[in-house]
Amino acid sequence: MIKAATTVPPAGVIEGYRHVAPLIDRDGATATVDTTGVYFQQLNETVRGLIGEGVTTVRIEGVNGQRYIGAGLRTPGVRIEVLGCAGNDTAMFMDGPEIEVFGNAQDGVGNTMSSGRVVVHGDAGDVLGYGMRGGRVYIEGDVGYRVGIHMKAYEKNVPVLVCGGKARDFFGEYMAGGMLVLLGMNARDEAQPIAGGFLGAGMHGGVIYVRGAVEPWQCGAEVGIAEATDDDMAELRPVIEDYAQALGLDAAEILSAPFTRIAPMSHRPYAKLYASM
């Protein structure tokens, strides 16, 4: 093991982390980084430095809430493996790489992400996919509040976010484009509704698919609720197959239940509230 070749601030302890460089074990285009107790700045500087030197697979061990992993990276073909709990804003502004988290993830996964893929083998927190513009985020378990808020699509850039468990309130709030999928299959609490209230509140673009049924009280007034058609399932099926392959699940089992389609009834849901001159 050798020390990372990065500029490091004076040694000290901040928020329980050490201002020291992680340890690196590199074998050609693959590198393993031991970041146990290391501050997030040193971790991310190390990852960027390795990618800049031609490393295409970075395996990060000992992760315990360090944030901004993969943030701003614009390097298609790069893979980052995270062992532990990924901190806030994992893959924020990311454009191209793939991140796989073998554990849980905190808030803001895929924040304003443009392309690439994030796979989380666990639960995740709030505001996943905030303003997401492209790429895919796959969560195996439950998610928190305001997931998919302000997601948007442009031409061929269509973001996709699939949650395998259940969600809290405001799922798909103000959604402007893309696809949100909620499966309700890998939830911690079977008694909890598959989604909280205000599902699709303010939604004016994109589509939400929910495995099973949702009640009108759960949804925002701006959306329509219908059983998914054959055409809808033709759109959804390849997404579910890719999700299942990424997480080692059975796509046929996921697709064995009916899905509900939730979509906006208007592209200007609040037009009547605007003052006209």
Residue 4 placed within a domain: no
In terms of Cβ atoms closer than 10 Å to its own Cβ (0-12, 13-18, 19+), residue 10 is exposed
Residue 203 has φ and ψ, to the nearest 5°, of -65, 135
pLDDT of residue 11: 45
Task: Give how many domains the chain has, as a whole number.
Answer: 1
- Please, are residues 248 and 140 in contact by the beta-carbon 8 Å criterion? no
Residue 70 placed within a domain: no
Q: How far apart are CA 34 and CA 38, in angstroms?
A: 9
Residue 244, domain CATH? 2.160.20.60
What residue ranges of the chain have pLDDT lower than 70?
1-19, 270-277
Domain residues for 162?
A: 122-273
R_g of the chain computed on alpha carbons: 20
pLDDT of residue 15: 53
pLDDT of residue 133: 97
Burial 248-277 (b: 16+ CB within 10 A, else e): ebebeebbeeebbbbbbeeeebeeeeeeee
Residue 52 placed within a domain: no
How does DSSP classify residue 207? E
pLDDT of residue 265: 86
Residue 8 placed within a domain: no
Q: For residue 1, give every residue at least 6 positions away whose Cβ sits within 8 Å of its Cβ, in sequence order, or none.
A: 23, 24, 25, 34
Residue 162 has φ and ψ, to the nearest 5°, of -115, 130
pLDDT of residue 256: 97
Task: Provide the whole-model pTM.
Answer: 0.90
Q: Which residues of the chain form beta strands (DSSP E)?
A: 2-3, 13-14, 17-18, 23-27, 30-34, 57-64, 79-85, 95-102, 115-120, 136-139, 160-163, 176-182, 205-211, 223-227, 259-264
Q: How far apart are CA 249 and CA 62, in angstroms?
A: 26
Residue 219 placed within a domain: yes
Q: How many CB atoms lie within 10 A of CB 32?
A: 18
Give 32-51 pLDDT, tens digit per residue: 999 998 999 999 999 999 99
Q: How far apart are CA 73 and CA 79, in angstroms?
A: 11
pLDDT of residue 277: 56
Residue 240 placed within a domain: yes
Residue 82 placed within a domain: no
Q: How far apart are CA 168 and CA 157, in angstroms?
A: 27
Residue 77 placed within a domain: no
Q: How far apart are CA 238 and CA 208, in angstroms?
A: 15
